Amino acid sequence: MNPQQPTNEHLLLIRGTHWNSGMSPAELQRTMTEFYAWVEGLDTSGILRGAQPLMEEGKLVSGQKGSAVILLW
């Protein structure tokens, strides 16, 4: 892929281990059910190319106004 040529593909990074702080068990269950349904929908429609968890270690660095995000570890 040539970085100068735009594509319709995107990379989604989801990182964080404390996002569910303060959620009740019912809220957590509902949120996870909705998330997995969303991912399943991406897979069913052929959009999802793969999914792997990120390591807990690392540092996020973003460019000016969030223009670029790099995960360093």
Q: Give mean pLDDT, residues 3-10.
A: 75
pLDDT of residue 19: 82
Quick: pLDDT tens for 21-46.
Answer: 899 999 999 999 999 999 999 999 98
pLDDT of residue 70: 60
pLDDT of residue 69: 63
Q: What domain count does the chain have? A: 1
Q: What is the pTM of this model?
A: 0.60
| Residue 4, both tokens | 């100068």
State the amino acid at position 45 in one-letter form: S
Side-chain half-sphere CA neighbours of 19 within 13 A: 8
DSSP codes joined into one string, 42-64? HHHTT------PPPS--EEEE-G
**Contact 39/48 with Cβ under 8 angstroms?**
yes
Distance CA 37, CA 31 (A): 10
